[in-house]
Amino acid sequence: MTLHEKSVRQHRRSKSKSSMRRLASTMVLGTAGALAGWAFLGNPVDQALGPITAAHAAGGVVSTDDWSPTKPYPVHNVYYPGTEELAPDEMRVISCGSGMPMARLKQAAACFLIELGNGDKFIFDMGNGSLDRIISLGIPLDFIDKVFLTHLHLDHAGDFPHFFLGGPQSNRSVPLRVWGPGGGGSPKEWGTQAFVDGMMASWAWMISTLKGTIDTRSFKVEVNEFDWSKINQVIYEDNGVVIRSIPAIHLEQAVSLILEWNGLKLAYSGDTMPNQWWVEHTQDADLSIHEAFFTPGVAIAKWGFSGPEALNAVTTVHSTAAFFGKVMAMTSPRRAIAYHFQNDADTLPVMIREVEKLYDGPVDYAQDFMVWNVTADDIRMRRVVANPEAYPTPPLAEKVIDQDDPYRTPEWVLDGWLDEVTPIAEEIYSDFNEANGTDFQFQLRK
C-alpha cells in the first residue's frame, strides 16, 4: 500500500468531526483526492506532530491554487492568539507558567488557562511570573474573572495580587472571582479568605488613593473558599462545567482540581505527592496535567541543594519524574502533561528517561506557551506565538469613575507644584478640547 492509499484509508476511517472541521478551515486544495492528502497518517507519533500530507510524505509537491508568493500559505503549526475561534465542543488549554518558584525569563511558575467552546474561561493557579504570559494573549480581563488556586505557595498564587491590582488600569470592569482552599482543620488565617483579606490590607494605600481617578469597580474579589479535605467535592458548577477538588499530599491545605465539560475531563495536580485520590478520580482524563520534579541528582546539580534537601524536595513534598510516570501508568490519560521543572536541553532527556521507565503513553513536557486543542476525537499540541507588546484590550463596559468618596492629595503636597508648568498643562487641555469638542479644565486637585 502506498502512503497515499494508506492516508486515504485512514481518512475514510476517521469519524473525526473536529479534525474535519479544522481540515476544512485550513484546506488549501480543491479536489476530494487532494483533501485526503491532508489527513493525518494515523500513527500516534504523526498525531502528536500534526498533519503530514501524503504528498509530502511521498516526496511530491502540493497545489498552490489557493496560496502564492503574495497570498499567505494558510497552514501554520503554531497558535497565534486572537485568530482562532473555538468550536462549540472544543477545549483550549495554554500553559502560562510551567516552571518553578525560582524566577526565570523562560518559564513562569504554575499557571494554566482553560478556554471552553461555551465561552467560559478558567485560570488554574497563578504562579509568580504568569500574568505577563496571560496578558500577552490579548484576552479582555472581563472574560477571565475566574481563578482557581490549588494552594497558596508563591509559585501557585504569587501573581494573583498582581492580576487583581492591575485590573483597573487594564480595563477590567468586573470583580475577580477566586476559588481556593481553606478549612479542613487548618488554621483560619491560612485560608484563601484570609489570603485575600491580607492582600486588601497590604495594598490599602494603592486601592484607596486610586478612588476618583479611574474606574475602580474591579477592586473587589468574590472569595469562594472550600474545604480542602473533602474528596471529589463539587466546588463549581455552572453552564455545563463542573469543577471538583480532591486533597493533595503537599504539606496541608493543598488540592488538585478536576474540570469536566461536554464529555471532556481535565485533571490538574497543583503540587502533590502521588496519592490514591488522584488515581481514583482522574482515570482516563483527556488531559492529565501533573507535576514532575527533577531527580535528586539534577536537583543537586541545578539548584545547589544538599543531598537531604534534594531528596526531601523531590520525593516527600513533590512528585519526582519517576513518581509522575507511575501515576500516569495507573491512570491512562489520553495525554499526560508533565510540568513544574526547568525544562532545558540538558534536563529534559533525564526527565524523559525517568518517566519512560514506568510509562509509555503520550507525554508533553511543558514549557510556557504550549497550547492544547482538545475535542472528543483529537488532541493537538502547538506553541503559542505570544505578543510581547500587548496593551490592555478595550473596555467592555462604560467607564464609571466614582466621585462619591474620591481620594484627595493633601494641600501642602500640592503646594509643591511648579507654577511654571501650569501654562503647559493648560495648553494640553486647550489642544485636547479643540480636537475633541470638549471643555475640560486643568485642575491641580484631581
The region of 148-156, 197-205, 292-300, 351-359 touching Zn ion under the rule CB under 5 A is: 148-156
The DSSP bridge pattern shows strands 176-182 and 363-365 to be unpaired
The region of 26-34, 111-119, 208-216, 271-279 touching Zn ion under the rule CB under 5 A is: 271-279
Q: What is the distance, to the nearest Å, from the Cα of residue 416 to the centroid of all Cα atoms in its chain?
A: 46
Q: Does 90 bind Zn ion (CB under 5 A)?
A: no
Yes or no: say if 328 and 294 are a contact pair by the CB < 8 Å rule. no
| Nearest approach, Cβ of residue 253 and Zn ion (Å) | 10
| Nearest approach, Cβ of residue 244 and Zn ion (Å) | 20
The region of 26-34, 154-162, 204-212, 388-396 touching Zn ion under the rule CB under 5 A is: 154-162
The region of 65-73, 117-125, 261-269, 270-278 touching Zn ion under the rule CB under 5 A is: 270-278
Closer residue to Zn ion (CB): 256 or 331:
256
Q: Which three cell numbers stand for residue 316?
A: 516527600
Q: Among residues 115, 145, 155, 354, which is the contact residue for Zn ion, using CB under 5 A?
A: 155
Closer residue to Zn ion (CB): 153 or 290:
153
Q: Does 290 bind Zn ion (CB under 5 A)?
A: no
Closer residue to Zn ion (CB): 215 or 271:
271
| Nearest approach, Cβ of residue 358 and Zn ion (Å) | 22
State the DSSP H helix or E strand holding residue 21, giving kind and residue range, or none if neither: helix 17-26
Yes or no: say if 405 and 216 are a contact pair by the CB < 8 Å rule. no
Closer residue to Zn ion (CB): 23 or 254:
254
| Nearest approach, Cβ of residue 228 and Zn ion (Å) | 13
Please name the residue that has the C-alpha cell 513536557: 365
How many CA atoms are closer than 13 Å to the CA of 316, on its beta-carbon side?
A: 5
Q: Is residue 380 helix, strand or coil? A: strand
- In eight-state DSSP terms, residue 169 is G
Closer residue to Zn ion (CB): 155 or 378:
155
Residues 327-366 as x/- pattern, contact with Zn ion by CB under 5 A: ----------------------------------------
| Nearest approach, Cβ of residue 129 and Zn ion (Å) | 13
| Nearest approach, Cβ of residue 109 and Zn ion (Å) | 7
Distance of alpha carbon 355 from alpha carbon 360, whole angstroms: 8
Q: Does 153 bind Zn ion (CB under 5 A)?
A: yes
Please measure the distance between the N-terminal and C-terminal CA atoms of the chain and give it in whole angstroms: 78
Q: Which three cell numbers stand for residue 29?
A: 486544495
Q: Which of 214, 217, 116, 211 is nearest to 176 (CA)?
A: 217
Angle between helices 348-356 and 321-331 (to 10 degrees): 40
| Nearest approach, Cβ of residue 392 and Zn ion (Å) | 29
Q: Among residues 145, 271, 364, 378, which is the contact residue for Zn ion, using CB under 5 A?
A: 271
Amino acid identity, position 241: V
Question: DSSP letters of 56-76?
Answer: HHTT-----TT--SSS-----
The region of 13-21, 80-88, 145-153, 427-435 touching Zn ion under the rule CB under 5 A is: 145-153
Q: Which of 373, 344, 446, 438 is nearest to 16 (CA)?
A: 373
| Nearest approach, Cβ of residue 125 and Zn ion (Å) | 8
Question: Computed from CA positions of residues 263, 269, 274, 277, in that sequence, does the dihedral angle turn out positive or negative?
Answer: negative
**Residues lying near Zn ion in the complex (CB under 5 A):** 153, 155, 271
